């Protein structure tokens, strides 16, 4: 299969746009976690490096646990929260 230069450019542009969207979604998630950390410091929940390390370890543990929850359960929770 031969690709013309124009089709190749279009394909590369689509790949770059998809990669940028994926990066931006991950960046928004990182920013959310960063805000949690800043709020925890502001509230006194995190007071030093040790408590920061523990807080982050807890986020990682929670994320690992939450991966086992099926999407349909999350959907139901989201619908219930809107009520």
pTM: 0.67
* Mean pLDDT of all residues in 14-19: 86
- Residue range of the domain that includes 40: 1-46
Check whether residue 34 and residue 6 sit in a common domain. yes
Residue 66: exposure state from Cβ atoms within 10 A (0-12, 13-18, ≥19): exposed
- H helical segments located in the chain: 5-43, 49-66, 71-82
pLDDT higher at 83 or 59: 59
Q: Is the dihedral of CA 28, 30, 32, 35 positive or negative?
A: negative
- Verify that 40 and 52 share a domain, yes or no: no
At a CB cut-off of 8 Å and minimum separation 6, what does 33 contact?
Answer: 59
pLDDT at 3: 67
Same domain, 53 and 40: no
- Mean residue pLDDT of the chain comes to 90
């Amino acid at each position: 299969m031969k690709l013309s230069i124009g089709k190749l450019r279009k394909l590369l542009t689509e790949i770059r746009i998809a990669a940028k969207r994926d990066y931006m979604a991950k960046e928004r998630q990182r920013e959310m976690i960063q805000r949690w950390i800043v709020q925890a410091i502001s509230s006194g929940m995190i007071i030093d490096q040790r408590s920061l390390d523990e807080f982050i370890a807890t986020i990682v543990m929670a994320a690992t646990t939450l991966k086992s929850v099926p999407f349909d359960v999350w959907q139901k929770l989201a619908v219930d929260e809107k009520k």
